[in-house]
A and B are shown apart, each in its own frame.
Chain A
Amino acid sequence: MALPLPPGLTHSEVAFLAEMEMVTVVPRQRLESIDLLSGQTPPLRPPHRAQLPLWLALLLKKQRRANIVPPPWLHPASLADIIHRETKGAGFSAPPPPPARANPHEPGRARRFADDDVTLSPPFQPSCTANAPAGYLPYHWLEVAESLLTHAGDDMAAPVGEVRSLLRDLVEVRAAKMRDSISELQGLERGMMLLTGVGSIELAESRGFVLGVVDGVRKIGASTEATRRDKEEMGDERDDEGSDDDMGI
């Protein structure tokens, strides 16, 4: 078989995607612009900050050519705040609002960071840079956090242990929510379920199970559904004829 992988992204594929997130670096050395396939990198001039994709920032970090500025949502205060909200609220906490060109005069009607015909979404929507808002978890939060803690622990705003322990709490609170959501999967009898705010790793982890349940429910209920549709169709037809439902035939 050409691709021996099940549908849906694997853990390593998700981690690979997350490495496309833009992060902010503070260069320690000069580096001229590089003509990459994804465009030119900004020339690096210490101590001016620059935005780079995470994979490149990690390369620079490993070579001690730059430090990485952790995104504000990864600060302990922000994480504690999110944990608090996750514990109180029912669903996952809201994803970050559309960044950048939001209209400050109409905060509720933020314009999406987009070109005329291109809508940016994770990992291409900058949500892990130093300008990202605190208090919101972006889609790739767990992979980016893991990556930064592992490879740029000394750049964190707080001791790595403290951040890790907050992340662990967050993972736990949200895992419980995921379990609750799954137990409500029968709610999909109306044809859809919302999981807004879920992270990519969380999604990858439960994908097989969730889709298995949903598809299983559909298959078991296939004949029920077919009967219902037939009835509804017949009902429609009779309605069209201005029919007489009350005749009790």
Chain B
Amino acid sequence: MPLYGDLGNKLVQHAKRTQNLIHLPPYQAELVRAVAREVRDLDRDLKSILEPFQGSFDPTADQATACTLLVNHLSMRRNKRCLLAYHRTRADKLEELVWSGADVLDLAGQQTAGGANGVMGANDGGASSLSPQEEDYVRQYGDLLAAYKGQWTDIDLTGSLEPPRDLFIDVRVLKDAGEIQTEYGAINLTRNSQFYVRQGDVERLISQGYLQKLG
């Protein structure tokens, strides 16, 4: 007879490992089923032990049975906790991905192995690492977050958590780049001219070598 609680421990170990990973490892469907089955088995045992007493069990009169019942009960609760912890850890991870703006379902559905993206395990053979229930959850949480965000549209709730710095920067034009549209209208970028512009507007031109950020 396998020791009750072993499987639950395994789930918790999986959860613990998941917390420290960047990607989400494949859902342990088999393990989850086994731990849940154990709970049902324990419950059946409990019922069959109690059955002969017809609701009149007196713990003080039969301490050995009382002890078995208690152990059974605690094992069930322990398994439940393990399952909750495992699913909660994964849900947290999924929520984190939703917050970061990743298209979780798209990533999960991709058939590329290798685990470069957020939700693929390294050796999951291309199948989604999410359970179907998790895919549902991601969809529903995404909707919930969108609804909450919608109340604060001007704030851009999923925007950067780094304090804003250097929103505007001085740039020098290294190569003629013609006219660009910024939030304030058009600027004509001719070589050696200098501008004070919104960093976000010119980031690409900087990386393409048209502009140089000054001081």
**A contacting B, Cβ–Cβ less than 8 Å:** yes
A residues in contact (CB < 8 Å) with B: 1-5, 12-13, 15-16, 59, 62-63
Other A-B pairs beyond A1-B96, A13-B163, A59-B168, 9, CB < 8 Å: A1-B99, A2-B99, A4-B161, A5-B161, A12-B163, A15-B163, A16-B163, A16-B165, A62-B170
Q: How far is the CA of A12 from the CA of B168 in the complex (A)?
A: 18
Counting CB contacts under 8 A, is B106 at the interface?
Answer: no
Q: How far is the CA of A167 from the CA of B207 in the complex (A)?
A: 37
Q: How many Å from the CB of A14 to the closest CB on chain B? A: 9
Q: Mark B67-108, 1 if CB is under 8 A from A, else 0.
A: 000000000000000000000000010011001000000000
Q: How far is the CA of A13 from the CA of B170 in the complex (A)?
A: 24
Counting CB contacts under 8 A, is B162 at the interface?
Answer: yes
Query: A1–B196 contact, CB under 8 A?
Result: no
Nearest neighbor of B148 in chain A, beta-carbon distance: A2
Query: B96–A4 contact, CB under 8 A?
Result: yes
Q: Classify chain B's interface size.
A: 10 to 19
Given A3-B161, A5-B161, A13-B163, CB of A63 within 8 Å of CB of B196? yes
User: Which of B92, B163, B170 is A1 in contact with, Cβ under 8 Å?
Assistant: B92
Contacts of B164 in A (CB 8 A): 16
- When A and B form their complex, which 4 residue pairs have the shortest distance between CB atoms, in order from nearest? A16-B163, A12-B163, A1-B96, A13-B163
Q: How far is the CA of A1 from the CA of B170 in the complex (A)?
A: 36
Contacts of B196 in A (CB 8 A): 63
Chain B positions 182-215 with a Cβ under 8 Å from a chain A Cβ = 196, 215
Q: How far is the CA of A111 from the CA of B99 in the complex (A)?
A: 47
Contacts of A2 in B (CB 8 A): 95, 99
Q: How many Å from the CB of B85 to the closest CB on chain A? A: 16
Q: How far is the CA of A13 from the CA of B92 in the complex (A)?
A: 25
Chain B positions 23-71 with a Cβ under 8 Å from a chain A Cβ = none
Contacts of A13 in B (CB 8 A): 163
Contacts of B215 in A (CB 8 A): 62
Q: How far is the CA of A1 from the CA of B99 in the complex (A)?
A: 7
Q: How far is the CA of A70 from the CA of B168 in the complex (A)?
A: 24
Q: How far is the CA of A4 from the CA of B170 in the complex (A)?
A: 32
Q: How far is the CA of A5 from the CA of B196 in the complex (A)?
A: 33
Contacts of B163 in A (CB 8 A): 12-13, 15-16
Query: A12–B96 contact, CB under 8 A?
Result: no
Nearest neighbor of A16 in chain B, beta-carbon distance: B163
Nearest neighbor of B167 in chain A, beta-carbon distance: A59
Contacts of A5 in B (CB 8 A): 161
